[in-house]
Chains A and B, each alone.
Chain A
Amino acid sequence: MGLTDLANPTRFMSYSARIIPWLWALAVLVLGFGLYMALVVSPEDYQQGATVRIMYIHVPAAYMGMGAYTLIAISSIGTLVWRHPLADVSARAAAPIGAAFTFVALVTGSLWGKPMWGAWWVWDARLTSVLVLFLMYLGLIALWRAFDDPARGARIVAILALVGFVNIPIIKYSVEWWNTLHQPASLMRRDGPSMPPSMLVPLLVMLAGVSVLFVAMHLSAMRNEVLRRRVRAMQITAARAAATAGA
């Protein structure tokens, strides 16, 4: 089974139907285990107390929000270079899921900040960057929805997605420049992670679980999108068939 086989929509539908139930089961298993470790086993923070456990949702959600945008950008290259219909289906299916994860990251980030800063929302650099990412997702979804014909919209939206992707680092550094009060990123440092293993392990399990969940949701959404396009094609055929029957 090569990549070219998967790229055929009919093949895609039959393979994905077989894989998806297993993916969902795996996602439930890993996430259940991760949540147990994160919410029960892992220690409380000596400063933040139990609030720190929001991190086990917040960080994976933020990571998936960015990961989904990366996937959209890669798919967009597929749309623009190879003009492959499944590439657009993939990008389109990833957008609402990525937006939802980004939204979860925003909400959990704001909940996390409440006890630390005393306000529901703080314009710190990372939270603000995630908000800008969320706005970019909404823009993509709105542009897709503005076209009746998905094939015509595909290349236009792919251009927007790539322009957005190129701009993400610029936006990120501009926002950090604007707000120098942000906390340093704590997961990856040159001198190794600053987090104790008792917290790092549950976080990594959650990251893995959310990744599997994303793949399961993405493949399911792609199937829905393929079916939606087939319905549309059948409706157009019905209109044309009625025209030839009437004449």
Chain B
Amino acid sequence: MTALKALFARELALAVRIGGGALMAVVFFLIVVTVIPFGVGPDLNVLARIGPAILWIGVLLANLLAIDRLFQADQEDGSLDLIVMSPVPLEMTVAVKALAYWMTTGLPLTLAAPLFGMMLNVPPQALGAICLTLLAGTPALTFIGTIGAALTVVLRRGGLLLAILVVPLMIPVLIFGISATTAVITGPTPFLTPFLILVALSLFSLVLGPLAAAAALRASLD
């Protein structure tokens, strides 16, 4: 536990200090939200209708932005060798690193989403739903992204490849996140059904992500 706490503190410190990119994802998210109206026009009714989808896709893309560095930075400076050799199970290390990434990326994105939703004229009750679905769904996005980060750890230009590998795996999360949100705005389906499936997806990836990523890391070091 002490070792994992130290790792968590280190990951947060690295994200916040100079050279770390803690709030870059939020800025990228704002850019995505800003660019869409230039494409579809400033009509507030249209924006309100597609707002939840813009927000969810924006969060999905922004969350991918820096995740390729999750293990690559440690691989390049030799830290990964020591992490693998430590008594701490690699699965736990991966889970803690992913959790720290979520704290500095997924959580700020979730908190920014209602604010950006107001810019898209999304109705107030839907803003709450977006915040809630993102809170439940962003862990899934992060932990699935972790698998991609581990698969591409030794590749020099892994970032683009990572997106191609993991976005298909994120589609179910996107479907249930957006349908839970639109259920609040328009109905007729209840909110809870897609929301619970979303929570289940998150819990499943919380287990699958660290297992698969740890296996991929061990295979990459060989």
Answer yes or no: A22 CB below 8 A from chain B CBs.
no
Chain A residues with CB under 8 Å of B119's CB are: 120-121
Question: Whole-angstrom distance between the alpha carbons of A124 and B119 in the complex?
Answer: 11
Assuming the contacts A135-B27, A142-B27, A181-B42, asked whether A123 and B18 have C-beta atoms less than 8 A apart, the reply is no
Q: What residue of chain A has the Cβ atom nearest to residue B38's Cβ?
A: A178
Answer yes or no: A145 CB below 8 A from chain B CBs.
yes
Answer yes or no: B31 CB below 8 A from chain A CBs.
yes
Q: What residue of chain A has the Cβ atom nearest to residue B120's Cβ?
A: A121
**Complex interface residues of chain A between 127 and 156 (CB less than 8 A to chain B):** 128, 131-132, 135, 138-139, 142, 145-146, 148
Assuming the contacts A132-B34, A135-B27, A142-B27, asked whether A122 and B19 have C-beta atoms less than 8 A apart, the reply is no
B27 with A123: CB separation less than 8 A = no
Answer yes or no: B198 CB below 8 A from chain A CBs.
no
Label chain A's interface by main secondary structure.
helix
Q: What residue of chain A has the Cβ atom nearest to residue B26's Cβ?
A: A138
Answer yes or no: B30 CB below 8 A from chain A CBs.
yes
**In the assembled complex, how far is the CB of residue B45 from the closest CB belonging to chain A, in whole angstroms?**
10
**Complex interface residues of chain B between 94 and 133 (CB less than 8 A to chain A):** 118-121
Q: What residue of chain A has the Cβ atom nearest to residue B47's Cβ?
A: A123
**Complex interface residues of chain A between 95 and 129 (CB less than 8 A to chain B):** 110, 119-124, 128
Question: Whole-angstrom distance between the alpha carbons of A142 and B119 in the complex?
Answer: 23
B118 with A145: CB separation less than 8 A = no
Answer yes or no: B207 CB below 8 A from chain A CBs.
no
* Total count of chain A residues near the partner, CB < 8 A: 20
Chain A residues with CB under 8 Å of B155's CB are: none
Answer yes or no: B37 CB below 8 A from chain A CBs.
yes
Question: Whole-angstrom distance between the alpha carbons of A122 and B18 in the complex?
Answer: 35
B34 with A135: CB separation less than 8 A = yes
Answer yes or no: A235 CB below 8 A from chain B CBs.
no
Chain A residues with CB under 8 Å of B18's CB are: 145, 148
Answer yes or no: A179 CB below 8 A from chain B CBs.
yes
B37 with A148: CB separation less than 8 A = no
Question: Whole-angstrom distance between the alpha carbons of A123 and B120 in the complex?
Answer: 9
Question: Whole-angstrom distance between the alpha carbons of A131 and B121 in the complex?
Answer: 16
Chain A residues with CB under 8 Å of B42's CB are: 122-124, 128, 178-179, 181
Which of B19, B42, B47, B118 is the most central at the interface, judged by chain A CB atoms within 10 Å of its CB?
B42
Chain A residues with CB under 8 Å of B31's CB are: 135
Question: Whole-angstrom distance between the alpha carbons of A110 and B118 in the complex?
Answer: 10
A148 with B19: CB separation less than 8 A = yes
Answer yes or no: B24 CB below 8 A from chain A CBs.
yes
Question: Whole-angstrom distance between the alpha carbons of A178 and B41 in the complex?
Answer: 8
7 inter-chain pairs at a CB distance below 8 angstroms, sorted by A residue, are A110-B118, A121-B118, A123-B44, A128-B34, A128-B42, A139-B27, A142-B27
Nearest first, the 4 A-B pairs at minimum CB distance are: A123-B42, A121-B119, A120-B118, A138-B27
Interface residues of A (CB under 8 A from B): 110, 119-124, 128, 131-132, 135, 138-139, 142, 145-146, 148, 178-179, 181
Q: Given known contacts A121-B121, A135-B31, A145-B18, what 9 new A-B pairs fall within 8 Å (CB)?
A: A120-B119, A120-B121, A122-B42, A123-B44, A124-B42, A132-B34, A139-B27, A148-B19, A181-B42
